[in-house]
Amino acid sequence: MKKRSKSKMFLALAFCTLGTMLSACSSMGTSSQKEGTANMDSLYYPLDSIQSNGNPVHVAASEDGNMKFYSWNTGEGGTCPDFGILCQFRTDDGGSKIIDVSDHDGIGWVSRVHSIQKEDGSTYYLVVSFHQASSNDGYAWVSAFAIDGDSIKQVHVIDASPLQDQDENDFNVNYCISAWYDATTGEGYDWIHEYDTHSHDLYVPQTIDASPFPEISDWYRVYHFNGKRFEDKDIKAHKGLHQSLCDYDHLERFFRTKWHIVRIDRMKDGTLRYASWKASSSISDKPELVILGGKQNEDTYIFVNEGVTYEAFYQETERRANGFTHVTEYLRILKNGKVIDKQEILYPGE
């Protein structure tokens, strides 16, 4: 597989920690108690009482409102950051308690927490965590916890049974941080270990071998919760992607412009495929346009259809007064060699 050269966010990624990046790039990242699930404020803890040295505090709350995590980057550890993590939960007697879980082996920077209600009336909690060993060496996993009196205990993700071996976890993913950001223009972090609260499906990312770190393929092993336990439903394509597109090898690039959604896939034979939708559509809809047999010229992906050329990630460089250069990426469309449209590629938060 040809390695992608890192585009406009590479330097930013090299100098930020995963927690900071997720707060900036993911819709889940927030320092507000009002973001997240509807029941988030059934537990309350004033953020200004957290000694985070001014660093943003990310709040993740379960759907039932009975468990909440506060995560922040302490500013220590460099590219292998040290995270502060508090867990607040509703105790069995109806009170609430908050404990420091920063040193717990089963918890990293907490992106999301989901309440899983079993048929027997019990509830346990899936916790999606992130960490990084370096600026580019990322880790994500799911662990599970149950409220036990006035404390919490770690249990097995599959069915909340007692955890026999803390290293026994089929949901760990090691991946290249910048490659996944690059592939999804920053949108892909909510796709990692996504849990669909309506279908009760958990999507565990699958990776492909790459150097120096594995890369997420945008294929997922899907586990369905049947009321008693999570059962393995095999490996499936990206959640919600139109069935006609579910024959790719791995996602190459995904991006949005003001007018379009575009997905570029690397096919099993190594060729490239372009699929696009109107911005008001969904990738679950039949794509408006599909082009096979594209080529890559450095950072730019080029596709030709009936005399019209589509250049994805076409770059223009502007030298600014401070001496720095600014690169803007576009979807550029040409007919008979003449530019007929140029749409800037959007990145979350910009």
Q: Is residue 5 part of a domain?
A: no
Q: Is residue 35 part of a domain?
A: yes
221 plus 256 within the same structural domain? no
Share of the chain above pLDDT 70, in %: 86
Write out pLDDT tens, residues 207-224: 999 999 999 999 999 999
Flag whether pLDDT at 168 surpasses 90: no
Q: Which of 82, 60, 62 is nearest to 73 (CA)?
A: 82
162 plus 141 within the same structural domain? yes
Q: Which of 209, 236, 263 is a domain's end point?
A: 236
Q: Which of 248, 140, 123 is nearest to 194 (CA)?
A: 140
Please tell me the predicted confidence (pLDDT) of residue 42: 67
249 plus 231 within the same structural domain? no
180 plus 271 within the same structural domain? no
Write out pLDDT tens, residues 326-345: 899 999 999 999 999 999 99
DSSP state at residue 240: T
In the chain, the largest separation of any two C-alpha atoms, in whole Å, equals 73
Full-prediction pTM beyond 0.75? Answer: yes
Write out pLDDT tens, residues 259-293: 999 999 999 999 999 999 999 999 999 999 999 99
Give the pLDDT band of residue 164 (cuts 50, 70, 90): confident
Q: Which of 236, 252, 273 is a domain's end point?
A: 236
290 plus 208 within the same structural domain? no
Q: What is the 3-state secondary structure (H, E, C) of 287-344?
A: CCEEEEEEEEECCEEEEEECCEEEEEEEEEEEECCCCCEEEEEEEEEEECCEEEEEEE
Q: Which domain holds residue 222?
A: 10-236
Q: Is residue 349 part of a domain?
A: no
Question: What Å distances lie between residue 167 and 40, 106, 203, 292, CA to CA?
Answer: 31, 9, 20, 43
Q: Is residue 249 part of a domain?
A: yes
Q: 106 and 143 in contact (C-beta within 8 Å)?
A: yes
Give the pLDDT band of residue 45 (cuts 50, 70, 90): confident
Higher-pLDDT residue of 166 and 145 is 145
Q: Which of 187, 211, 236 is a domain's end point?
A: 236
Torsion of CA 168, 79, 180, 301, to 10 degrees: -150
Please tell me the predicted confidence (pLDDT) of residue 46: 86
Radius of gyration of the chain (CA): 22
Give the pLDDT band of residue 319 (cuts 50, 70, 90): confident
43 plus 183 within the same structural domain? yes
Average of per-residue pLDDT across 13-20: 40
148 plus 66 within the same structural domain? yes
221 plus 250 within the same structural domain? no
Q: Is residue 3 part of a domain?
A: no
Residue 322, judged by CB atoms within 10 A of its CB (0-12, 13-18, 19+), counts as exposed
Q: Is residue 270 part of a domain?
A: yes
Average of per-residue pLDDT across 176-199: 96
DSSP state at residue 66: S
Share of the chain above pLDDT 90, in %: 77
Flag whether pLDDT at 99 surpasses 50: yes
Number of domains in the chain: 2
Q: Is residue 266 part of a domain?
A: yes
Give the pLDDT band of residue 14 (cuts 50, 70, 90): very low
Mean pLDDT of the chain: 88
Please tell me the predicted confidence (pLDDT) of residue 169: 67
Q: Is residue 331 part of a domain?
A: yes
